[in-house]
Amino acid sequence: MENVLGLAFVSLGALFTVWNAVGLSRYLKFRRVARSAELTWAVPRPWFYGMCLGIGFFMVSLTVLSIFVLRRPLLATLAQALMALYYTVVFPLTLRIQRGFYRTGIWLDRGFVPYKAVRRLNWRETPEILLMVDSDHSWLGEGHQSLKVPGERFGEARRILASHIEDQTLSVETHILGLSEVDQPAQEQV
């Protein structure tokens, strides 16, 4: 039983180490590009935000209790501390990342994509407006990501993309389904 518990703490420690590193690196990247914001908006807090903070503060108290009162093994305490760090610091920081358009790229729902990596753009208007982006900026090759654009920002977002296409900081593919530009019917780019 002790081995299974140790393996569980190692797994949790590894998982939260990765989540903390990814979350902090995204936030630091946001801090670097934040000065170049052209059109951004805050991400609404998810419905489970309070629950995550509650878990975080519970893990902080459990970590303190494990260190000073229970004298638990270092591995268990470290895993608890990493969980506490994620839920009380890293998770709230990632919610401060402003989605939208910057001088060098787009901050999508899953991360930042530089304009030079964007290959295709498409608008999807469902009850919400989504900018669909196909890019070469992904660990697994071509990435398909989206950005929820508030309705009142839709026109300005289109103008920003059009200006980046015009000044060639954003170069999207103009052919669809293998058709050349001369075979393709006239269509709106952005």
Per domain, the residue ranges of the chain are 2-35+43-94, 99-166
Residue 182's pLDDT is what?
Answer: 46
List of E strands, the chain: 37-41, 99-102, 105-108, 111-114, 118-125, 129-135, 143-149
Residue 135's pLDDT is what?
Answer: 84
Say which amino acid occupies 1: M
Residue 187's pLDDT is what?
Answer: 47
What rounded mean pLDDT belongs to the chain?
Answer: 85
38 touches 99 (CB < 8 A)? no
Total-model pTM: 0.80
98 touches 34 (CB < 8 A)? yes
Can you state the angle between helices 49-65 and 74-85, rounded to 10 degrees?
Answer: 150
| Inter-CA distances, 170 with 7, 89, 140, 148, Å | 47, 35, 22, 20
Token representation of residue 120 = 């295709």
Angle at 117 between CA 161 and CA 168, to 5 degrees: 45
